[in-house]
Amino acid sequence: MRLTKKSHACVRLEKEGRTLVIDPGGFSEEDAAVGADAVLVTHEHPDHFDEGRLRAALEANPAAVVWAPRSVAGQIAAAFPDRVRTVGHGDAFTAAGFEVEVHGELHAVIHPDIPRITNVGYLVDGGRVFHPGDALTVPGRPVETLLLPVMAPWNKISEVIDYVREVGPQRAYDVHDALLTDLARPIYDRQIGALGGTDHLRLEPGASADL
């Protein structure tokens, strides 16, 4: 499996000639999902879900399908009624040849005054990759590669470190990093790397790694 990092929370997974894209939002490249055979969306916030990017993917590949929570699926299902699937915690399905399990139900708390929305995470191919979206969901299964939401309005570095420790992956690649400046990255790299208990890695947008 090949992992390609796109900007912010978006990644592309490739296996056996097929492509799965997760969270092509407004902070990601406009063509982040183009060429995908399947797209997974964790929740409705615009840095994870952008209708234009999904439309571009679906129009570029007439066989492409989107899986997303109801809050997202309802916004695009009318235009693509046979190509949008609604998912929730506990669901399992096959997307573009990848086996996917859905874990989690709610977005992390941003502030007590802000209502929490639905957020799901996606465990791919039995734990080879886990993308939690905007939550620190522990899937309860061994995880090889954790896509780590390293910096967000709803987390702090101590929580990120404890999350890595609790999941216990073989490696963790940063995602949700568009708000993290280059000046601060060495601090996060050093602290998560020293205290997380696993290999803490980072890809620049457009860079790839074989898992």
Residue-level pLDDT at 168: 98
Residue-level pLDDT at 58: 96
- Angle at CA 20, nearest 5°, toward 78 and 84? 15
Give the Cα separation of 178 and 44 in Å (integer).
Answer: 17
Residue-level pLDDT at 179: 94
Beta strands per DSSP E along 72-184: 84-86, 92-95, 98-103, 121-124, 129-131, 145-149, 171-175
Domains in the chain: ranges and CATH = 2-206 (3.60.15.10)
Q: At 139, list the tokens.
A: 């899937």
Residue-level pLDDT at 6: 98
User: Which mean pLDDT values do the consecutive 10-residue runs of the chain (211 residues) have?
Assistant: 98 98 98 98 98 96 97 94 96 98 98 97 98 97 97 97 98 97 94 97 97 96
What are the distances in angstroms from CA 48 to CA 42, 82, 186, 191, 194?
Answer: 7, 22, 25, 26, 29
Residue-level pLDDT at 26: 97
Helix and strand numbers (H, E) in the chain are: 4, 14
